[in-house]
Structure 1
Amino acid sequence: MIFNVTLGIFFFLSLLFDMICMGKLLGVKRQLQNMTDALNDMEAGNGNRRILAVDNELTADFSYKINEIVTRYEERISELRAADETNRQLMTSLSHDVRTPLTTLIGYLEAVHRGVATGKEREDYLKIVRRKAHDLKDYIDLLFDWFKLNSGEFSLSIERVELAELTRNILKDWIPIFEENHLNYEIEIPERALLAKVDLDGYARILNNLVQNVIAHSRATQIKIEMVQNEKEIEIHIADNGIGIEKADLPHIFKRLYKCDKGRSDKGSGLGLSIVGQMAEKMEGRINVRSEPNQYTVFTVCFPVKK
């Protein structure tokens, strides 16, 4: 009798086990089918589709991992699309910003060459040609810097330098340009040594781009460049009393191809400040800006103190 009861319990448990296993197998089969459907949907282009799973399901970890991979893939696709759009905008800008001054140069040179412009007019034409040629060179230099920064081959030669003397040497070449543009200038740089680790050429480009930005876009009558050191950082302030920057534009001005003044689309490439921001970051520095429209703009570049 006991044997029969034991045998019955054994058969019952075996049947129950088989039912559980069958249920689990059916559950796994359903989960795998759901995963296949989701993956087919993703392959068809639905990047927002995800595989649904419950923590206690056998395939949960697998599902979560696939979702994680798909999310990273979609983020990468989004980055590539944004880069493609940026490159398209850049090529459009390049076409306009290079073709327009070249057409102007050719026009003025043709007038001089054919003798249409003579005397003082000829001299004025040649001055315009010279200025346009320098503008074009500046733009090509910016393009070169931007492509270098965004290539995998870009590298900096970081070294410990005396930043005060380096800054003085860079700014002395700007003094004749300030005077030529009737721009009152004030430069305050400490006499004592200020040490930081920077790339010499990269630092010069940051400073030159910021000063050029004041001359080209601010309509300022005064520029002040000041260098100070606090406990942790060396700060370089470039301030002007020009037209300023609207508050809505301030968060975006270091983005590539961003132009604050849409009404002056023929002015600037939208690359200069982007290059400044990237250069500072690559040298472990940072840059910020504050401005009040029609009153002032102050760019501040900071580098860690190296003792």
Structure 2
Amino acid sequence: MRKLSLKLGIIFFITLFCIETFMMFFLHASLTNSRVEEELTSLQARGNSHRTILEQNFNKETLSHVVLMESDENTDVVITDDEGIVLASSQLYSEVKNIINKVERNVPYEGKVLQDNWQEAASIATISPIQKQQTTIGYVYMFQNTDSIHTLMKRLNKHFLIVGIVSGFVTIVVIIILSRKLAKPLIQMKEAALKMSKGDFTVALSTNGKDELGDLSNAIKLLSSDLNHLRQERKEFLSSIAHELRTPLTFIKGYTDILYKRDLPEQDRQKYLAIIIEETNRLSRLIKDLFDLAKMDENSFIIEKQCLHLNPFFTSLKEKLSPVFQEKQIHFTVHCEEELTLWADQARLEQIMMNLLNNAFTYCASGDTTSVKVTKHNDVLTIIVQDTGKGIPKKDLPYIFERFYRVEKSRSRALGGSGLGLAIVKELVQAHGGEVTASSEENKGTIFALSFKGVESNENYFMHR
């Protein structure tokens, strides 16, 4: 936690320090310039005031009065004629003389600042022209010692230093609190990710925040839940594979040993060989189904669509399966509207229908009915496979498309199946861009509905999951 919070703290501190430093310098310069400007404006106003008095009475008494007015102030006044000759002054020293000698005589009536460099010069200065009948007859020079300005700047610098130290301390405290608050959930998420990498999906993260960190926390919890579900599915999947492979292999091995070790009558030999062939076929189908599912998972399962005329397709399917249903005395019907077409892989569509009809055949008894109905409404083609068999319990219905899920928990061999048929149906239907749904009631039957939107699309489709 220290590393991340330290990095965040340093970044925040540098950023805020730069901002605060810039603002402090800007504010300091603004206050300084404003104060000096006020002093210069005040000095110029005093000079203009003296100039107004002298314009009314430009004589020795008035000159003395003006000088006397500035004798007790921290300012000095110098009055000259239009040639620059000093007529009166409250204090005259070499720097004042240098300033007077350098002044050009075209001074505007409102006056102007002669010297404002308070950092280096001993005083600041202004000039105001004395005019009579629009003719300049003299000048009023005003001088103010810069010691007061320097004293003011020292106090200002001291205050800014105190404010800077206090704000810096407060900034550091706030940064420490904020950086730890930001770093803590990130560290928890890192630890959660490490736990998940080791196979521990019991992740407990706070998801109260409604910001990006809260969204990330929710995403990690969802990922943990999904990974845990996948792990459980993988365990169940491997367990189911082991069971499904072990059963036929046990039969094959057992009856093969009997045939090899015993001298059996021909009738028994044929019986045992038939069982071995049946179990071998079961094992072959299971391996084929697993291989198909593996290719689907790897996105290497190709669906090659073509324009398939459905009426001949389902007519052929009925002719192929009718004898099997008749043997079990199950009424089997197929209804497909004329001229219906679907862009589909014929072999894969037949595999879908075979799995669904085999399911219906397995769970129907003598006298039950199995029907296939194909219709099209707007741009949606629907294939409905309905039977009146034993149905599916409501609690099992949401899981029938999961791999190796079987309603018969006893795994009765009389009802057969590996639990992969409906999983393959779902994958193949989705590969065609369709959807499959199921509804059922116990002892009343089951309905599977396959829906395909945009049935006139003619592009070849490589399955994407």
Aligned counterpart for 1:184 among listed residues 311, 331, 336: 331
- Ranges in structure 2 where 5+ consecutive residues have no aligned partner: 1-34, 39-148, 196-202, 457-465
Aligned counterpart for 2:182 among listed residues 35, 56, 71: 35
Q: Deviations over 1:198-256 (max 9, x none)?
A: 23333222111111222334446432222222223222121222110112222222223
Quote the RMSD (CA, aligned, Å): 3.3
Aligned counterpart for 1:209 among listed residues 355, 362, 365: 355
Counterparts of 1:155-174 in structure 2, within 5 Å, are: 155-174=302-321
Q: How far did residue 130 of structure 1 move?
A: 3.0
Relative distance call for 1:15 and 1:298 in structure 2 (3 A) is same
Q: Deviations over 1:267-288 (max 9, x none)?
A: 4332221221222122121111
For 1:78 and 1:48, locate their aligned partners in 2 and report how far apart those are by CA, in whole Å: 11
Aligned counterpart for 2:254 among listed residues 89, 95, 107: 107
Retained in 2: the 8 A contact 1:42–1:49?
yes
**For residue 460 of structure 2, what is the aligned residue in structure 1?**
none
Percentage identity across aligned positions?
22
Q: Which has the bigger relative contact order, CA under 8 A and spacing at least 6?
A: 1
Q: How far did residue 165 of structure 1 move?
A: 2.6
Retained in 2: the 8 A contact 1:245–1:293?
yes
Aligned counterpart for 1:149 among listed residues 296, 299, 302: 296
**For residue 128 of structure 1, what is the aligned residue in structure 2?**
275
Q: How far did residue 195 of structure 1 move?
A: 1.8
**For residue 75 of structure 1, what is the aligned residue in structure 2?**
222
1:279 is the counterpart of 2:425: no
Counterparts of 1:49-64 in structure 2, within 5 Å, are: 49-50=205-206, 64=211
Moved more, 256-265 or 112-121: 112-121
TM-score by length of 2: 0.55
Relative distance call for 1:284 and 1:146 in structure 2 (3 A) is same
Retained in 2: the 8 A contact 1:34–1:51?
no
Retained in 2: the 8 A contact 1:35–1:51?
no
Q: How far did residue 173 of structure 1 move?
A: 2.9
Count matched residues. 297
Retained in 2: the 8 A contact 1:233–1:304?
yes
Q: Deviations over 1:49-106 (max 9, x none)?
A: 34987x9xxxxxxxx4455445434433433332232222122111111111122123
**For residue 58 of structure 1, what is the aligned residue in structure 2?**
none
* Corresponding letter in the other structure for 2:188: D
For 2:178 and 2:208, locate their aligned partners in 1 and report how far apart those are by CA, in whole Å: 9
Retained in 2: the 8 A contact 1:290–1:297?
yes
**For residue 339 of structure 2, what is the aligned residue in structure 1?**
193
1:249 is the counterpart of 2:396: yes
* Corresponding letter in the other structure for 1:268: G
Aligned counterpart for 1:290 among listed residues 439, 460, 465: 439
For 2:216 and 2:243, locate their aligned partners in 1 and report how far apart those are by CA, in whole Å: 41
**For residue 60 of structure 1, what is the aligned residue in structure 2?**
none
Retained in 1: the 8 A contact 2:438–2:447?
yes
- Ranges in structure 1 where 5+ consecutive residues have no aligned partner: 56-63
Retained in 2: the 8 A contact 1:196–1:305?
no
TM-score by length of 1: 0.80
For 1:99 and 1:15, locate their aligned partners in 2 and report how far apart those are by CA, in whole Å: 84
**For residue 138 of structure 1, what is the aligned residue in structure 2?**
285
For 1:8 and 1:199, locate their aligned partners in 2 and report how far apart those are by CA, in whole Å: 90
For 1:193 and 1:13, locate their aligned partners in 2 and report how far apart those are by CA, in whole Å: 90
Relative distance call for 1:222 and 1:135 in structure 2 (3 A) is farther
Relative distance call for 1:199 and 1:30 in structure 2 (3 A) is farther
